[in-house]
Chain A
Amino acid sequence: MDLINLFVKSIFIENMIFAYFLGMCSYLAVSKTVKTAVGLGAAVIFVLVITVPINYLIDTYLLQAGALSWLGEEYASIDLSFLSFIMFIAVIASMVQLVEMIVEKFSPALYGSLGIFLPLIAVNCSILGGALFMQQKDFTGISEAITYGAGSGIGWFLAILAIAAIREKIAYSNVPAPLKGLGITFIITGLMAVGFMSFMGIKLEGNQEEQKEKTVYNIENENADDKATYITDLENE
């Protein structure tokens, strides 16, 4: 049950694009047609499902404070967490390379459709973001890490699919010249994010307070009352 909660939460409530803006660069660059958007989205799901669990294992057994205790007692006091950025990015870059080679060897058809997108993914913020959020969330097992990776990937996929479909249609509308292309895409994404905010009201099992804290985590408002009233307002709607 917890896994399903986490899955739904990572797709909708903590959507990579609409809640955290991760992976915006490729989201804007590759969303001109639905076909390429599907290719990139699939590649992102694929890589997130692989890299988040691997980074979870590296974090738990190598980097965290006391993670090296399986080597012996004298290693229990070592804290390598300052190395996590470089480890995570190295894992991601090498996994992307590896996945590219494996896919090319065993499934040329899939390589044909993903091919050009795979190298792009090494520098897609949502992949590193997935790893860093995983580290922040203190998951208790690898199954949670896999679920989180899959959920955030699917959330990203949905987002790029939706914007690509909208952009294909918007080509036929009369947008003011200075807003054409990038400007209108930004504004549409903003409006879509407003739509996704309605998922914040969904009640999943578990600690409600904690969830609210997490979903509105980037509202760094010092006035706590404002924040609380705002959340209740949202829920009443």
Chain B
Amino acid sequence: MSEENKPTELTKEEKKKKEMILFLSKSEEKESFLSKANQKLLTDPLDDNNPITVQVLGICSALAITVQLKPAIVMSLAVVFVMAMGNVVISLIRNLVPNRIRIIVQLVVVASLVIVVDQVLKAFLYDVSKQLSIFIGLIITNCIIMGRLEAFALGNGPWKSFLDGIGNAAGYGIILIIVAFFRELLGSGKLLGYEVLGHKGLTLEDSTGLYALGYENNGFFLLSPMALIVVGVVIWYQRSRNRKLIEEN
């Protein structure tokens, strides 16, 4: 019995090895690069399965850097890069890494990518890198990245993982940018540093735009608690539109 079984097992293993060499899973060979399922990977995290408002991942660094739009955009791009590359790397080596040490391997891969991002920012966007301070480093422990590596990249091929990484990072970025948009607009009357609501002078006569009518900035939006409340309101809005997301309790 056992001898009869052996050859088939071997062929299975050989098949697996072949797949490992090609780094492609069976289903992927048949699918086109942008099939329906793959498109879903990309668009699902934007709304129905948003990492921040639905999966509750990656909130740590999301809130502290949303005072202004510019650092929020830079942060989103950094996360897109780290997540897409991290997902691809982990998915490539997923069959080589023993299960017990996978967390440390993931952390090392992500940490090396974050070091690249950090050094690039320091070299080309020094002021933004100062503003983001420790939060670039905290991308390493950003739960979205670890969560997606664990939940997706360990079980799927590189192309799917790449799409999943881009989609989830974009879902994260969208929330970041929405929150930063409102906080910068209402808190300091600017967008990306431009005074979109007019210039605020010392007196009413000096001011232009809305400020000439007596409008004041709401300084409270610059403080950290407002980030939480704005995210709360975003969740409220999203769930009242998309009622299947409502929780029991």
A85 and B67 contact, CB distance less than 8 A? no
- Give the distance to chain A from B154, nearest Cβ to Cβ, in Å: 15
Interface centre among B65, B188, B193 (most CB of A within 10 A): B188
Q: Mark B54-68, 1 if CB is under 8 A from A, else 0.
A: 001111111111011
Task: State A126–B143 Cα separation when bound (angstroms).
Answer: 12
- Give the distance to chain A from B84, nearest Cβ to Cβ, in Å: 19
A189 within 8 Å of B (CB atoms): yes
A180 and B249 contact, CB distance less than 8 A? yes
**A-binding segment of B13-21, B101-109, B206-214:** B101-109
- In the complex formed, the residue of B with least CB distance to A136 is B134
A207 within 8 Å of B (CB atoms): no
Task: State A128–B134 Cα separation when bound (angstroms).
Answer: 9
B67 and A219 contact, CB distance less than 8 A? yes
A3 within 8 Å of B (CB atoms): no
Task: State A181–B118 Cα separation when bound (angstroms).
Answer: 35
What chain A residues lie within 8 Å of B103 (beta carbons)?
93, 119, 122-123
- Give the distance to chain B from A131, nearest Cβ to Cβ, in Å: 9
B229 within 8 Å of A (CB atoms): yes
A190 and B232 contact, CB distance less than 8 A? yes
B140 and A89 contact, CB distance less than 8 A? yes
- Give the distance to chain A from B153, nearest Cβ to Cβ, in Å: 15
B142 and A171 contact, CB distance less than 8 A? no
Task: State A5–B67 Cα separation when bound (angstroms).
Answer: 29
A117 within 8 Å of B (CB atoms): no
- Contacting B at CB under 8 A, from A154-198, are 171, 176-187, 189-191, 193-194, 197
A78 within 8 Å of B (CB atoms): no
A186 and B67 contact, CB distance less than 8 A? no
The DSSP consensus for interface residues of chain B is helix
From B60, B65, B68, give the contact of A125 (CB < 8 A). Answer: B60
A179 and B224 contact, CB distance less than 8 A? no
What chain A residues lie within 8 Å of B119 (beta carbons)?
82
A220 within 8 Å of B (CB atoms): yes
- In the complex formed, the residue of A with least CB distance to B225 is A193
A85 in contact with B232 given A119-B103, A218-B67 (CB within 8 Å) = no
B223 and A219 contact, CB distance less than 8 A? yes
B223 and A25 contact, CB distance less than 8 A? no
Task: State A132–B119 Cα separation when bound (angstroms).
Answer: 16
A25 and B246 contact, CB distance less than 8 A? no
7 contacts between A and B (CB under 8 A): A24-B63, A132-B138, A180-B246, A180-B247, A182-B56, A219-B222, A226-B217
Q: Which positions in B face A, CB cutoff 8 Å?
A: 53, 56-65, 67-68, 71, 103-104, 107-108, 111-112, 114-115, 118-119, 131, 133-134, 137-138, 140-143, 146, 187-188, 193, 217, 219, 222-229, 231-233, 235-240, 243, 246-249
Q: Which positions in A face B, CB cutoff 8 Å?
A: 18-25, 28-29, 82-86, 89-90, 93-94, 119, 122-129, 132-133, 136, 171, 176-187, 189-191, 193-194, 197, 216, 218-223, 226, 230
10 shortest interchain CB distances as A-B pairs: A181-B247, A190-B228, A186-B232, A178-B239, A125-B60, A193-B225, A190-B229, A187-B232, A24-B59, A132-B134
